[in-house]
Amino acid sequence: MKRKDDVTHESDPARPRPLTRKQKAELRALAALPDEAIDTSDIPELTEEFWKGAKRGVFYRPVKQQLTLRLDADLVSWFKGRVRGGRGYQTAINRALREYVDERRKRAG
């Protein structure tokens, strides 16, 4: 529950706030440190074993663009019928288009 004394802040990752002079000075000081002067004792080395189960692109989320698109009514009905209660039909359409595009890209080389 939000109270009147709660402070919130929204930021846009595409337009980060400019760094302050103090922040810039701290970054310059860190950049000037030789690698040997940085204590990494609390960071374990990553071995080949660590990377064996790694998967690429798991956290990638493409930027969505809102648009108006006219589709045949039977197509929309079909997608709505394929998903629970019609919820997520737009995601299903997006997934179908993504598969189509990926397949075309593979064929193109």
81 in a structural domain: yes
72 domain-assigned: yes
Tell me the pTM.
0.47
Q: Which tens digit of pLDDT belongs to each residue from 22-36?
A: 999 999 999 999 999
DSSP 19: P
Residue 49 carries which side chain, given as an amino acid letter?
A: E
**What token pair was written down for 37?**
């002067």
* Within a domain: 96: yes
Cβ-proximal residues to 76 (8 Å cutoff; 6+ apart), any chain: 89
Integer Cα distance of 17 and 24 in angstroms: 13
Domain-located, residue 49: no
How many whole angstroms separate alpha carbon 66 and alpha carbon 69? 10
Asked whether residue 48 is assigned to any structural domain, the reply reads: no
The 10s digit of each residue's pLDDT in 49-81 is 988 988 888 888 888 999 999 999 999 999 999
> What's the total number of domains in the chain?
1
Structural domain span for residue 73: 64-109
User: Is 13 within a domain?
Assistant: no
Note whether residue 82 is domain-resident. yes
63 phi and psi angles, rounded to 5 deg: -70, 130
